Structure formats: structure tokens, C-alpha cells
């Protein structure tokens, strides 16, 4: 579903006109204020759908397909520097890796301030090759502090916000599965209906959203059907879902 198609009438904006104005097309596209309003509502709907996808996806991590790069941030490791600011918008940090002084990539182990039994500045205070990383605000902190330089030596894998629409967009599409696109105009219309007390629309839109959200969660929760998870025994008893078998 494209953002705005006044010819074929199958765009997101046209679907909003279908649900709210009984297919009286042009009510939004011919009104600059309304078009800007629905662009904003559509972007809030993208936020909502993305949140639902991130809650539902499993081992196949979601990323908006309209981005032209991968969600991997890279920066230099600087000797003596503990704090590395994330220069990208991110919703979830999936993993952190860094290049050791021997040129071998290391998978970092996450740690939290609550895990440190000493003051943060005293935790692994002797500079060396990092072992742990902590996420704090918009930064990654490495412990111990690196005692070497490495160009492009820090990599952060993350999940990010959706790629938002502009009011001038036409052929741009939401960056998730096509079969779930209609959730975007439905959610935009629902917010508009609530704000404008369109009681005859609210219930219908709410029920339609609930049905399609269930479809979305089922779809994204089952995308990794090519993996077969097996039960593995814990060291201290009990079982857990382990790595997939192939």
C-alpha cells in the first residue's frame, strides 16, 4: 500500500478517506491542513505497528525494509575511552561486538549497573581488552576501558524506529509485510475519530484494528518456521528452549 495514490485510490491516504468520508475521495488530499494532519497520524500509526512487531518477532529480527542500510552502527575504539555515544536512533540494542588488539572480533557480554558491587569508576578499572558493555541513556560503556585503538572497531546491532512519511510522498510504502499495511490507515483514522468524537466510526475502527493486530502478531511471531527449537538441559536442572537444529 503506497502512501498517496489519487489515481488508483489504493493509497494509505485514500483508505483513510474510505473509512472516514465514505469514499468521498479528495477530502484529505485537497486540504493541505488535513493532509499534514494525516501524515502525522500515519507516522504515529507506524510507531504503533512497529512496537507490535518488535513485541512479536522472535529470532528473525525486524527492520523497516525501506531503509537502504543495515541496522549496524560502527565507530572507532579509542584508547582510554569508556563511553561511546550511539549516533543513531535505536529502539533495541541486540548485541555489541568489538575488535580486540589481536584483530579478532569479540562478542561483548551485557552488564548493568545493578550487577556492579563497587562504584562504576572502580569496576574493572585497569584498562585492557573489554569484556562487558553497559547501555546507559544513549551511550555504550565498555569495561574494562580499552587500552588500544581500533578503527571501526566497535559494532552495535540494533532495531530502529520506522522510516516516516512526508506529506509529499506518493509511492513510498510502509517498511513491513504488505499483508499488514492496512493497519496504518486504520490506526490513523481511529485517532482522528476519537479526537473528533466520531462515535459512529470509533467502534468499527477499533474492532477492525483488533482483528488485524492479531493477524500481525501471528505473522511476525511465526516467521522463523525454518528453525526447529529443541529442549536442552540446564547445568543446574530443568530445561529451556535451546539453539535451533538445522
- Residue 236 pLDDT more than 60? no
Task: Starting at the earlier edge strand, list the strands of the sheet with 139-143.
Answer: 83-85, 139-143, 132-136, 109-110
Task: Tell me the average pLDDT across 64-68.
Answer: 93
Does residue 21 have a pLDDT over 60? yes
pLDDT at 233 over 80: no
User: What is the rounded CA–CA span in Å between residue 142 and residue 69?
Assistant: 26
CA 228 centroid distance within chain: 25
User: How high is the pLDDT of residue 224?
Assistant: 57
Look up the pTM and report it: 0.81
Amino acid at each position: 500500500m503506497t502512501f498517496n495514490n489519487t489515481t488508483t485510490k489504493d493509497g494509505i491516504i485514500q483508505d483513510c478517506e474510505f473509512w472516514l468520508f465514505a469514499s468521498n475521495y479528495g477530502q484529505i488530499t485537497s486540504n493541505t491542513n488535513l493532509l499534514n494532519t494525516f501524515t502525522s497520524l500515519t507516522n504515529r500509526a507506524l510507531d504503533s505497528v512497529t512496537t507490535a512487531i518488535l513485541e512479536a518477532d522472535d529470532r528473525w529480527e525486524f527492520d523497516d525494509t525501506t531503509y537502504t542500510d543495515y541496522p549496524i552502527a560502527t565507530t572507532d575504539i579509542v584508547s582510554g575511552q569508556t563511553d561511546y555515544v550511539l549516533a543513531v536512533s535505536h529502539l533495541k540494542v541486540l548485541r555489541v561486538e568489538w575488535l580486540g588488539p589481536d584483530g579478532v572480533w569479540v562478542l561483548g557480554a551485557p552488564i548493568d549497573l545493578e550487577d556492579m558491587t563497587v562504584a562504576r569508576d572502580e569496576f574493572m578499572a585497569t584498562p585492557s581488552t573489554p569484556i562487558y558493555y553497559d547501555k546507559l541513556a544513549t551511550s555504550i560503556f565498555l569495561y574494562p576501558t580499552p587500552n588500544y585503538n581500533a578503527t571501526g572497531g566497535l559494532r552495535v546491532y540494533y532495531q530502529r524506529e520506522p522510516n516516516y512519511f512526508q506529506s509529499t510522498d506518493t509511492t513510498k510504502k510502509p517498511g513491513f509485510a504488505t499483508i499488514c499495511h492496512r493497519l496504518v490507515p486504520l490506526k490513523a483514522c481511529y485517532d482522528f475519530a476519537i479526537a473528533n468524537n466520531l462515535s459512529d466510526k470509533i467502534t468499527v475502527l477499533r474492532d477492525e484494528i483488533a482483528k488485524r493486530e492479531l493477524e500481525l502478531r501471528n505473522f511476525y511471531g511465526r516467521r522463523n518456521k525454518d528453525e526447529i527449537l529443541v529442549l536442552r538441559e540446564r547445568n543446574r536442572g530443568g530445561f529451556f528452549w535451546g539453539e535451533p537444529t538445522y
